[in-house]
Amino acid sequence: MSNVELATAKDIDAIASIHAISLASDVLPHFGRNYLKKYYSEIIQSPRKDVLIYRQQNKVTGFIVLRTGSFSMTSILRLKDIVVFLCHCLAKPSLFLRAVIQTVRQTHIADCECEIDYFAVAIDQQGSGIGKALIHAAENWCRDKNIQVLLTKTNNARLQDFYLREKKAETLKVFSILRETYKVFKWTIE
């Protein structure tokens, strides 16, 4: 039996915790834990997004966010979230620049395409095959929906090599944010 399933509202806390720790340098966690939970609650209900989770012994240990159309993160932003973010920016001004560049650099998704928005595994479980199982499940999810192409963007150099080597991905764009190199990949699901 597969360990991968669609996330539901009861998984939001666990997903937000993994996101906050494993993707700690990402912009989203700096809007606060409440915003992160609101974000996942919203996308679980959205027809254009799904979250697949990896569950082991009843514990969520990884997730992947799949998006098939545009989704505005700003529609769920409240003043309180902005204040939390600005407080984080005071301590780390580069965050502001990162948020602006990420917003401007949104990838366009065509009808038969899907983008991996977020992908993370709990720190103590990384490197044991959960990520590969989630990618495999994401490809099956796409096949079910007649989606032929997966897109993703990452600054994780090891993962960039994985997409090139294992998925024979095409590199669509390369750009830097604060000395980190991001690559946008696209591959056809066989």
Closest distance between ligand COA and the C-beta of residue 169, in Å? Answer: 12
Smallest gap from residue 34 Cβ to ligand COA (A): 22
3-state secondary structure 135-163: HHHHHHHHHHCCCCEEEEEECCHHHHHHH
Build a one-symbol-per-residue string for 139-178: x at contacts with ligand COA by CB under 6 A, - elsewhere: ---------------x-x-xx--x----------------
Of 2-10, 70-78, 97-105, 125-133, the segment contacting ligand COA by CB under 6 A is: 125-133
Q: Does 182 interact with ligand COA (rule: CB under 6 A)? A: no
CA distance 69 to 153: 16
Nearer to ligand COA, 82 or 149 (CB): 149
Window 17-56: residues binding ligand COA (CB under 6 A): 22-23
Cα–Cα distance measured from residue 160 to residue 101, given in angstroms and rounded to the nearest whole number: 20
Candidates 5-13, 84-92, 122-130, 142-150; binding stretch for ligand COA (CB under 6 A)? 122-130
* Residues 35-52 as b or e (16 or more Cβ within 10 Å = b): bbbbbbeebbeeeebbbb
How would you classify the pairing of strands 49-56 and 113-121? unpaired
Task: Tell me the CA distances in angstroms from 161 to 64, 151, 165, one per residue in order.
Answer: 19, 15, 6
CB of 146 to ligand COA, least distance (A): 25
Binding site for ligand COA (CB under 6 A): 22-23, 119-121, 126-132, 154, 156, 158-159, 162
